[in-house]
Chains A and B, each alone.
Chain A
Amino acid sequence: MLTAHNIVLGYNGTALCNPLDFHLGAGQICAVIGHNGAGKSTLVRTLLGIQSPLSGSVQWAGATKKNIAYLGQSATIDNHFPMRVKDAVTMGVWPQLGFWQGINNAMAERVENALLRTGLTHMADRPLFECSSGQLQRCFFARAIVQDAPTIILDEPFTAIDQSTESQLIDIIQQWRDEGRTLIIVLHDLSSVMGIADYCLLLGDGRGLFGKTDDVVTNENLISHHYLTHTQAQWISRLTDAGGRDA
């Protein structure tokens, strides 16, 4: 579904990392991790076609821009915009509509189903500013469901939400995988990466490492790509060992 061939990420001619080469198929989830400034957001913008890579190419098999669903960081969204929850979810079908074309019954049904799947039916007519950060994130998941795209890109979807909401959203992600969609998710929490991702792209120190999650997320790789310090890696190892003994 997605092939990145020797892409070099960067701005104004300055490369952020060495050439990246990876391929993802249908029904696969790839987590993107890296320290601040490693190039995660630049990668997302490049995959979305918002900016071009300095070199190399990105190919979406059979996918145009409108066939990619995107859920961005909620910090960039104006949640005081005069809009109901249902309206924000309906935005997911807008790219498929012509200038003067209204939404049809099938689209309206998709919106209702998405609200139901995200547990927001009771909030449908409420203004966005009444939503908690968890409800807001569920609203944007509902919009991504409505987009019904074969490829979905999520940029830090679990930031500032509680464990229970995160668990509901992970269920939706698993459903997307079961439906054969390709997902790319920027994450910070290593337990989420290990829990949901088949593949991992680790960015840092001007390099990128792509592979199966178990092969990429190792202490050695995380330290060498400046994602963890030696001390942090030791602490995580100790906690993991203690957890294993308790279990």
Chain B
Amino acid sequence: MLDWFAYDFMQRAFVATFVLSVSIAPIGAFLVLRRLSLAGEAMAHAIVPGIVIAFVSFGLSVVSMVTGGLIAGVIVALGTSLISRRTLIKEDASLASLYLIALALGIFILSAAGSAIPLKSFLFGSTLGIGDDTLLLIGVTATITILSMTMLLRPLISVTFDPTFYDSQSSHAGLVQQWFMFLVVLNLLAAFKSLGTLMAVGLMILPATAARYWVSTISSYLLVTLLFAIFSCWAGLLLSFYLADVPTGPAIVLVAGIVFIASLCLSPLGLRGNMWSKSKRM
């Protein structure tokens, strides 16, 4: 039953996805609360050309790929802000335009360079092939994220729940929001190698949306999001181990999706709860 535990790559995958979940869960929770779920998706695609250019130029180096991804993410974020402030196009449309260009550019460069790394690996990652450098990246990202979140928790709650109130009490609202977006990009990069660009954002958003149906306090929300993320990762890993040819990234996100649909249907704040309260009113 526990035969999978004998494999070194499975042990690494379990540790890596646990640490990744600890890091990515609070980021996803606040993305959902700040109604930026789709911005997270867009940023996941926006970092692709930076990673690809770094890969084509410097090979499979985690440091260069993270640097490239960060630069691409910052360029798209600043470009979005510039276009929405200077032209009639709003923020959502400018972000959508830029991330689509970025994604297409990344795939174009990857294909044109005749890369040895298949496109599938970029899009879906390889959780079962995690090396020391990727483990280190995930560990450093989790440390930065957890330290930042312990400092930013109250400001983030305040600026999300009642932005004008936070503005009235502090001059750092812009800094809090920019640092949070930096953490989003950093976590997407940490998840990129194991889950791929398409699936990383799934682990960020789905546990957070599922948890939203179960709880009504912020501390329990963060805890349930974390538990759902860990469960999705570990269940997805086992699914991928026992079912041949099932890539791990999609398996993890699919489990997270099942958790979301189950929460939607069964939780007190989901469809069941709403139907119950409607029938009570009738």
Q: List 30 A-B contacts (CB under 8 A).
A: A45-B167, A48-B167, A50-B168, A65-B171, A66-B169, A70-B164, A70-B169, A72-B162, A72-B164, A72-B168, A76-B162, A77-B162, A78-B33, A78-B160, A78-B161, A81-B160, A81-B161, A81-B218, A82-B212, A82-B215, A83-B161, A83-B216, A88-B161, A91-B158, A91-B161, A94-B154, A95-B170, A99-B150, A127-B217, A153-B168
B interface list, Cβ under 8 A from A: 33, 150-151, 154, 157-158, 160-165, 167-171, 212, 215-218, 220-221
Contact assessment for B164 and A76 in the assembled complex, using a CB-CB cutoff below 8 Å: yes
Q: Which residue of A lies closest to B153 (CB)?
A: A99
Contact assessment for B154 and A97 in the assembled complex, using a CB-CB cutoff below 8 Å: yes
Contact assessment for B168 and A70 in the assembled complex, using a CB-CB cutoff below 8 Å: yes
Contact assessment for B167 and A83 in the assembled complex, using a CB-CB cutoff below 8 Å: no
CB distance from A171 to the nearest CB of B (A): 23
Q: Which residue of A lies closest to B152 (CB)?
A: A99
Q: Does A210 contact B (CB under 8 A)?
A: no
What CA separation (Å) do A72 and B168 show in the bound complex?
10
Q: Could you tell me which residues of chain A, from 37 to 93, have a CB within 8 Å of some CB in chain B?
A: 45, 48-50, 65-66, 68, 70, 72, 76-78, 81-84, 87-88, 91
Residues of B near A48 (CB, < 8 A) are: 167-168
Residues of A near B163 (CB, < 8 A) are: 76
CB distance from B222 to the nearest CB of A (A): 9
What CA separation (Å) do A95 and B164 show in the bound complex?
14
By the criterion of a CB under 8 Å from any partner CB, how many residues of chain A are at the interface? 28
What CA separation (Å) do A94 and B176 show in the bound complex?
15
Contact assessment for B154 and A83 in the assembled complex, using a CB-CB cutoff below 8 Å: no
Given known pairs A82-B216, A127-B217, the reply for A91 and B165 (CB within 8 Å) is yes
Contact of B217 among A45, A83, A95 (CB under 8 A): A83
Count A/B pairs, Cβ under 8 Å.
Answer: 74
Greatest chain A CB density within 10 A among B150, B157, B169 is at B169
Contact assessment for A81 and B33 in the assembled complex, using a CB-CB cutoff below 8 Å: yes
Residues of A near B221 (CB, < 8 A) are: 82
Residues of A near B33 (CB, < 8 A) are: 78, 81-82
What CA separation (Å) do A81 and B156 show in the bound complex?
12
Residues of A near B162 (CB, < 8 A) are: 72, 76-78, 91
What CA separation (Å) do A158 and B142 show in the bound complex?
45
Contact assessment for A70 and B217 in the assembled complex, using a CB-CB cutoff below 8 Å: no
Given known pairs A100-B150, A127-B217, A129-B216, the reply for A70 and B161 (CB within 8 Å) is no
Residues of B near A70 (CB, < 8 A) are: 164-165, 168-169
Contact assessment for B218 and A82 in the assembled complex, using a CB-CB cutoff below 8 Å: yes
CB distance from B142 to the nearest CB of A (A): 19
Greatest chain A CB density within 10 A among B154, B216, B220 is at B216
Contact assessment for A87 and B218 in the assembled complex, using a CB-CB cutoff below 8 Å: yes
Contact with B along A99-119 (1 / 0, CB 8 A): 110000000000000000000
What CA separation (Å) do A88 and B162 show in the bound complex?
10
Contact assessment for A65 and B169 in the assembled complex, using a CB-CB cutoff below 8 Å: yes
CB distance from A126 to the nearest CB of B (A): 9
Greatest chain A CB density within 10 A among B158, B168, B212, B220 is at B168
Greatest chain A CB density within 10 A among B157, B158, B165, B221 is at B165
CB distance from B161 to the nearest CB of A (A): 5
What CA separation (Å) do A143 and B164 show in the bound complex?
14
Given known pairs A81-B160, A83-B161, A94-B158, the reply for A65 and B170 (CB within 8 Å) is yes
Contact assessment for A50 and B167 in the assembled complex, using a CB-CB cutoff below 8 Å: yes
Contact assessment for A95 and B216 in the assembled complex, using a CB-CB cutoff below 8 Å: no
